[in-house]
Structure 1
Amino acid sequence: MLDSTELALYRRLAREQATSRVPSLVAGVVRDGSLVWSGARGRVGSARPDADTQYRLGSITKTMIATAVLRLRDEGRLELTDPLEKHVPGTAFGSVTVAQLLSHTSGLTSESPGGWWERTKGGDWAALEESLDKDATKLRPGFKFHYSNVGYGVLGELVSRHRGRAWFDVVREEILTPLGMTRTMPHPRGAHADGFAVHPFADVLLPEPSPDAGAMAPAGQLWSTITDLARWTAFVGGHTGGVLSEDTMAEMRAVNTVDDGEVWNTGFGLGIMQVRVDGRRLSGHTGSMPGFLAASLVDPVTGTGALCFANATAGVGITQLVLDLIGTVEELEPALPDEWRPSTVDPALLALTGLWHWGPTPYHLRVLGSDTISLDPVSGAGRASRFRPVGPDTWVGLDGYYTGETLTVGRDANGVATHLDLATFIFSRTPYDPAAPIPGGVDEAGWR
């Protein structure tokens, strides 16, 4: 970062720490997969915290559980449409699906029965399961967004059963270690901040407890650092390091539901929170546990993200701080577009480019890079999608109306492309070309 940019970032951090009365506040900025700035205000004990000081992640833990579940899906061990009963039999809510649990649409109660789980020592899975009777389902599964910490306790058990070991051992071995996140763990070790509640009417502190949450731990147990969380922020932005494919991460970021109705400023994918602001869609998660607040958001398009930790129970505009840090960087040092370079394109694919028609509507087919294609209305209004190859003369839709749909090339006896078949819609080189298999046929008298 330029000196002027770093000063602006640090000033915003300092203002938040002072006005919100936070014992300590640390933050960082990520660009293109790397931590490019970090700053700290306040004190941890008598010292200034730094990028290696541990704070609690809170619900950012959920994004790591979700990643472990998607790894199981990618290995063919489960489907997102599977009912829970198939993997964790015997619960009172076995009909909810894995996807519903991931996206907070299962209808399960938000908190586990009994004492406030975030401030009391948690029991094991058997105790949690026994406490969740038929009344644990508060809404019809799939009906609407209803944030559920319980749902992630359940997903932690699902991961544990499939892998045959504790959920955190799975997360550490399969996710954290490959990403170099060596300071992310269930309990603090070495330099760490203590959690406090700040009195609303006086500048005094009350220490908060941080017990082990037991079976509810997958909902918010972990501790981490700015250095580690920066790696996770980059991971969510698409720098997946082989832990997941980029396609799977994009699937996790896709919006499944929104939690603010028609306004649609905040939504959820598969364990990943989505925030819309200033024309951008940011991905990540926020977190809170007694004594701690955290946030991590990244713009997958520009590669710019921000993250922060505070050791206060409430009163900090943690999400707005992250949004402001991202906005500052994008304003003062906007990301440059990728440099254009020529690609190697198969001549057979090049021959497909140009003008096609769906009925009387003209479309352009373009090659993006070496093998991805786009099909866009010439007018700019209508159904536009990109497609990736899945076989000879066969593509699958990546976005827009044709997401997941198959496009195939029809050829004549000489191998010349005569039409495109896209989910039963026929595109031909000229409007309603009689040589193409136009549904319903073409009037023999032709245009007149």
Structure 2
Amino acid sequence: MKQKLALIVSLMKVPKILLLDEPTVGVDPLSRKELWEILEKLISDEDITVLVSTSYMDEAEIADMVLMLDNGKVILDAPPDDMRKKAEGMSYNISAEDCPVLREAFYEVSTAPGVMDIVPAGGGLHFISTDISYLEKYHPKPVKPSVEDGFMTVLKYNPSHGLSASANFARKRKDEVIIEAKGLVKKFGDFTAVNSTSFTVTRGEIFGLLGPNGAGKTTTFRMMCGLIPPTEGDLKVVGIDAKKAALEVRKRLGYMAQKFSLYQDLTVIENLDFFASAYALRTEQKHDRIESVVKQFDLGKALNWQTKTLPGGFKQRLSMAVALLHNPEILFLDEPTSGADPVARREFWRTILRLSDGGTTIIVTTHFMEEAEYCDKVMIQDHGNMLAIGTPKEIRGKAEGASNMNDAFIKIIEKARDEH
């Protein structure tokens, strides 16, 4: 709604040129669709020129021209189709049937020679490669490249960074329930933000909370974190009653907020030292944990930089490093990749996958529906109600004709709203 209001204000007098700086950051897919319908009608009716910066490559697809920049330099200035052609003959899909153990296939393809990008897609994998001879057992099928494929090809991305084809896939979770919610309700006065919601999350699972803005997912998220108590229902986190012992719950969790919330005037090492002390880590333990997260998130060269001077990607890595200082059993990530470019999002999710493989449970909210494909299980909410829960494959199956999570999300939300 804030984004729509900002757009309306900028259009009080119809301009000749409209400048939009990432207008859909933090906006759910349904609202993004509505915003672009408004813009497309405006362009058609008023014949105005729109210049837009965006991290969503599907938005770049509908542009007339794309200007791609890196390190302050223009590296591509062309129509979307020309950008797409940069990955011509290099884009492939692997079906879900040909990679039954998705995580294992993801790691193996990531580290294969010639592979420049890989993401989960439709229950299988989508990747760009100059050589598929090492991947014949997965029966990759050539597909038409997307603008995002072109983007990643131009950047010459290396998806094997930090990954190993021999990673340990025996994740420490099995059937151990680490979060259990039964009939969860949260009311603010007469307003019901979350209505009779039940679900379980197991150890090491990546659990995605999806929904339009105002759906109730943030409220559900905050209840699980022990930040606000449920009005009704039962909620156990790491075996602790979150209604009766919220402080004990919070000691076992790590939390990364959507907005950067560390101390801007402190250096990177000062922030790490401060939060390690706040987590009550003893001197030797504190030193070891700081050293560990600095190495894990490659923060060494930035230790003495003032935090406010850090690039966005470094801030993101520092935020997660701080959240993991005390080795939490559950890591809560609130729209961690909002506003991040495609490369930063990929790097971030590789970190999440490694944490999950090590047994850390991940609870994540996101508006990037393709990121939901990384999750073991997702829940879709709207107006406080749970509309669907299950694996990404099960969610796609609930939306007739949906080939990807973005289509499934929109179909499920629109159907529920039509029925009410």
On whether the aligned pair clears a TM of 0.5, the verdict is: no
**TM-score (normalizing by structure 1):** 0.22
Task: Choose between structure 1 and 2: higher helix proportion.
Answer: 2
